[in-house]
Structure 1
Amino acid sequence: MASELMKNGDGEMSKDERKVYDRQIRLWGFDGQNKLRATKVLLIGMQGLGAEIAKNLILSGVNSITLKDHTEVSILDRCSQFLIPRDSEERNRAKASFSAAQKLNPNVKVIVDTTPIEENVDSFVTSFDLVIATECSPSTYKRLSENCRKSNVKIFIADVYGLFGYFYQDVISTHSLYGEVFPNNAEIDTLTSTKKKPQLYYLTSALLKFQSDSNRKPNPDTSEEDIEELKSIIHPQINDSSSDQENKESDVFEEYYGELFCELSPTTSIIGAMVSQTALNTVMNKPVDNYNVFFYDHIEHEGKFHLL
């Protein structure tokens, strides 16, 4: 009977599995859990935000999750990366995260991939049902967005900058591609859209342009120089693109500049939870499809969805 048995490509759900997922089954039913058990996830980037998303998806009971990260563990990971033991001798982030990630739920297949996403062919995403990308360059995000759209693969793109974070989703074909929402490099200085954008859109765009120009995120070791560079990007952008006098004030982000470094755990936990829950709803055919971008501001303790 449907109420007693639950199947996916790997066979029936065991009695122990049903006990593990009992609360979830009560929440979204056997059909919803069955969809999760059939879902193969690619998660790119295993700093603090990636660890939070991995935890949530593994505990939910997806079929498999591939942790993809070619970078080495750094001191910044101590801000929020809880899957990597302090005494770990493994230098690669994905490998160092594997043991703790797998222990969260032995029913989920956890796979490690240490090759850079830039080296994968465009068709790489077709092996997955859901792609979640963090810590990539804006050009890589743009490429992933385009390839997932072509392959009909759902994609979420997310990043955290200190006490601020955002995520973008592409779950229906009528929404704008990532590169259309956040134009790359020089285009960012001459935004001409008449649609009023939220204040945090300009901060996100400036951070992405900084990342494109510098090939890195703002770093606490070069905080003074990085803040000045961000100001030089964001002020012309606001003045050229906004008719809102409040947005034109040069000090509108003054409180934010010193809080954009590292992936801090209060922000990674909230952005990670929002990405995970929205992605799980999408897998279960309950997408938040009237919005495509979410901004979270920990200074104001506020998070909002927007359609851009």
Structure 2
Amino acid sequence: MATEVAENGGDVQLTADERKVYDRQIRLWGYDAQKKLRTSKVLLIGLQGLGAEIAKNLILSGIHSITLKDHTDVSILDTCSQFLIGHDSQERNRAKASVVAAQKLNPNVVVTADTTPIDENDENFVKSFDVVIATECSPTIYEKLNKHCKQANVKLFIADVYGLFGYMFQDIGFNLSTYDTVFPNYRTSSSEIECKREIAYYLTSSLLMFYCFFKRKPNPETCEEDIDELKSIISSLEGASEIPDEYYSELFCQLSPATSIVGAMVAQTATNAIMGKSLKNYNLYFYDHINHQGKFEKY
């Protein structure tokens, strides 16, 4: 039986079974670090391929609980990378459809589903968690979550994957720019940016603006029209360089190679933050599939 989280800040000891399960991890980062993971409560928003990867890694690490939050139904696009949903699943909601397989990964972790849209929760909702990880949301939702998590002193990670390209933003209480300061340009069709930045930054900005304009991500069924729209958005960004066409051709669905890489990075960075080993000097990570490179940045 799994250890219960101690109330009122009391100490928590791992059971003999947990020590056995997490033996290799304890050897890697220590018993005290594993205890910190064991008491952490995580909210994960968005259960497409990226969310599945993040959930898998966090559950295997030995956190106390994870709430899988997604109000959408399973779609054909989930077959590209969402491995928690069985092909014979009769459950239509993505979060509920992911619970059984997720729970089997580690019986010591409490796995639950929440089907309420995040925009229907108030600012107090995040206070029930130690870490919030948000994917597949609109930029305005990300901005609100950043504000609410900062007020509640809750660690926040925002991430998304577009085809073979992906990014992560973290706000864990350090003196770095918040989400809407890093990406100020999704509110209007053009915006001045202080200095020359990476191609990945402008590509992420254009994808966020696309979501604001069309209330969706780029879609394989309308790929040609969507690419034209993205190119137009890029051209409106002050300081943006021309982005090679090869980037645009692989921005559709969430493909397994990218979800594996970005998902692992999100989970690793989140577990490090829980254990008090945060990567303090960076708030952005980009995975550039054209250059086969993952890179942290500070904005």
Provide structure 2 residue ranges, at least 5 long, that are not aligned to the other structure: none
Deviations along 1:26-77, whole A, 9 cap, x unmatched?
A: 0111100000001000000000000000000000000000000000000000
2:107 paired with 1:109: no
Amino acid at match of 2:204: T
Per-residue Cα deviation, 1:161-199 (whole angstroms, up to 9, x for no partner): 001000000012411110111115344611241x33212
Residue equivalent to 2:171: 170
Deviation at 1:123, TM superposition (A): 1.0
SS at match of 1:287: coil
Query: Corresponding residue for 2:207?
Result: 207
**Number of residue pairs the alignment of both structures matches:** 293
How far 1:88 sits from its partner (Å)?
0.7
Are residues 1:297 and 2:288 paired? yes
Runs of 4+ in 1 over 6 A off after TM superposition: none
For residues 76-225 of structure 1, the aligned pairs below 5 Å read 76-187=77-188, 189-193=190-194, 195-225=195-225
Q: Which residue of 2 aligns with 1:33?
A: 34
Question: Secondary structure at the residue paired with 1:18?
Answer: helix
The residue number in structure 2 matching 1:65 is: 66
Contact kept, 8 Å, 2:185 with 2:191, in 1: the verdict is: no
The alignment status of 1:281 with 2:272, answered yes or no, reads: yes
Q: What displacement does 1:111 show?
A: 1.0
Unaligned segments of structure 1, at least 5 residues: 1-5
Matching residue's letter, 2:81: S
The reply to whether residue 241 of structure 1 matches residue 232 of structure 2 is no
Indicate conservation of the 8 Å contact 1:139/1:184, yes or no.
no
Matched to 1:137, the amino acid is S
SS at match of 1:190: coil
Amino acid across the alignment from 1:210: F
CA positional deviation for 1:16: 1.5
Residue matched to 2:254 = 263
CA distance in 1, matches of 2:163, 2:76: 15
Is the Cα–Cα contact under 8 Å of residues 149 and 173 in structure 1 kept in the other structure? no
Cα drift, residue 300 of structure 1:
1.5
> How far off is 1:139 after superposition?
0.3
Tell me the distance in 1 between the aligned counterparts of 2:39 and 2:170: 21
Return the TM-score normalized by structure 1: 0.92
Shift of 1:8: 4.4
- 2:106 corresponds to which letter in structure 1? N
Output the amino acid matched with 1:203: L
Q: Is the 8 A contact 2:186 2:206 kept in 1?
A: no
State the SS of the aligned residue for 1:160. Answer: strand
Q: Distance in 1 between matches of 2:210 and 2:176?
A: 25
Aligned-residue CA RMSD in angstroms? 1.4
Tell me, in whole angstroms, the C-alpha distance in 1 between the residues paired with 2:4 and 2:101: 27
| TM-score with structure 2 setting the length | 0.95
- Per-residue displacement from partner, 1:63-99 (whole Å, max 9, x unpaired)? 0000000000000000000000011110000000000
Contact 1:7 1:34 in 2 (8 A): no
Q: Aligned to 1:141, what secondary structure does the other structure show?
A: helix
Q: Distance in 1 between matches of 2:193 and 2:264?
A: 33
CA contact (8 A) 2:135 2:159 kept: yes
Q: 1:64 to 1:191 in 2, by over 3 A?
A: same
Pair 1:69–1:270, CA change in 2 (3 A): same
Q: 1:9: Cα distance to partner?
A: 1.8
8 Å contact from structure 1 (residues 94, 113) kept in 2: yes
1:3 matched to which residue of 2? Answer: none
Native 8 Å contact 1:126 1:153 kept in 2:
yes
Q: Tell me the distance in 2 between the aligned counterparts of 1:37 and 1:263.
A: 30
| CA apart distance, 1:7 | 8.3
Contact kept? 2:174, 2:280, Cα under 8 Å: no
Q: Percent identity, please.
A: 63
Taking the aligned partners of 1:139 and 1:187, their CA distance within structure 2 comes to 13
